[in-house]
Chain A
């Protein structure tokens, strides 16, 4: 009976793991070591800007231990979604870290990069051929939207990773990949059951998230066989229970039983969870239902402008009674002032002043059932967005002063209606981005959207 042992160092490179846990994993003779490095969870900024979410020093610490463990075990190391968003900039950033570690430690090996940033002409052609379809819910798509995206990545499945390994790579640095694919590739290649391989991969990708009490991000290992897998955290003080493992398919998934992958669906509806001891769990009955075609999910981010924020408090009861009216009126009147300043060069649809009211519905917006309740004070967060930094700086400075003294009818005389906790009242945040795609591409070949390159390090 085949048994493929897969070691997940941590749920996220840069968030850490204990050296002792990882060392225990290496001593259990894994066939592959994997670690996810990305997500969309922190927002569109990272894909849009190409900048990493985790600090270089933390990523280097984790990667060094993984590279040394890989050398010792003599097995492949696969990193998914390098640099967080998985764009080409993220792969280059990770490659630089890997080269530095190899130099420091005197390591040499074969490395593959598998890039997933998409060519705009390719995507526009796919759109014209009707090979791009929306998921639910999806924003509109057009050639113009593709053109104005800062970066677009496709989420690779296991095929491109398998191809890189097949060409002899010891270390694979993936661009955007499904979290599961980097853990499922070796088990699938070695002939483990597809259902157990994909379901185990789903648990592995979050590290110790599937443990009973997650003390900290740490290493976890799966033993994947024909019709079941076993899972166990590497820290002996940490444990999995049938409920903790079963619960994991709830996390960050819309549907707790069905998880979409490029080549099909992981079906956990008939999975059975059994305690092997008080720390390890066996899972039977997981299935993988092939869809018979490959679909690659796109993630895109476009620039939304340059943004400044203003934080202010309001305690005045007369203002609080008419808060929305006051805020709306001041922003309408402010448009005239913008006209004056810029002499018509900045039009009203070139900039945006949004306000969020903390203490009422700042957190939940239109989902807030208690939006009619307000305390004796509120916190206001103004976000001012304009095409460029000089413009947003001028607008934010002028608006802070304008809003501070905006009158209410109850008081006859100059008022100061906003309590600014800091000076200057505004802070420039820099460039902001927005997610603009939730679509899938049906490529003609599962490999055509990904670029594999082999390097000697």
Chain B
């Protein structure tokens, strides 16, 4: 299915319909990665490009703080972590938590 990329391994951003982050209340950040088709969703899960371990390493948070879900009906991967700063506190730079997903966009599928 990745022929169109002519040998270059696709990124999660190229394969997903939507990658987003958002507050889930004032104390939790949540990340959604959603796919248009069952085929792409399954392929991404099989590839291991985004797992609990990958996420914890990328965001440098303890793996035990990462909630990781796959949601078949929504064809989505969902991840939640405690907010590094409480929403709106001095150290919080993203009131809605809407720009924290960026590092996921360029994740490249492994060989």
Chain A residues packing against B (C-beta within 8 Å): 40-45, 135-139, 242-243, 246-247, 249-257, 271-273, 299, 304, 352, 354, 356, 362-370, 383, 385, 433-435, 438
Contact = CB atoms under 8 A, between A and B. Distances in A.
Chain B binding surface, main DSSP class:
loop
Interface string B70-98: 01011110101011111111111111100
8 contacts: A137-B28, A137-B83, A250-B76, A252-B22, A299-B26, A367-B61, A367-B100, A369-B60
Contacts of B67: 254-255
Interface of B: 22-28, 30, 32, 34, 58-61, 67, 69, 71, 73-76, 78, 80, 82-96, 99-100, 102-103
Contacts of A367: 59-61, 84, 100
A31 to B, nearest CB: 28
B27 A137 contact: yes
Shortest 4 CB-CB contacts between residues of A and residues of B: A246-B73, A43-B88, A254-B80, A247-B74
B97 to A, nearest CB: 9
B31 to A, nearest CB: 10
Contact of A251 (B22, B85, B92): B22
A33 B75 CA distance: 32
B24 A254 contact: yes
Contacts of B92: 365
A271 B87 CA distance: 32
Nearest to B61: A367
Contact of B88 (A138, A251, A364, A435): A435
Nearest to A297: B25
Residue among A40, A299, A304 with most chain B CB within 10 A = A40
A137 B84 CA distance: 10
Nearest to A268: B73
A392 to B, nearest CB: 14
A254 B34 contact: no
Contacts of B32: 247, 250-251
A363 B27 contact: no
A271 B73 contact: yes
Given A43-B87, A136-B82, 10 more contacts: A243-B74, A247-B76, A251-B32, A252-B23, A254-B24, A254-B28, A362-B93, A363-B100, A369-B103, A438-B26
Given A254-B67, A257-B71, A438 B60 contact: no
A242 B72 CA distance: 11
Contacts of B91: 354, 365
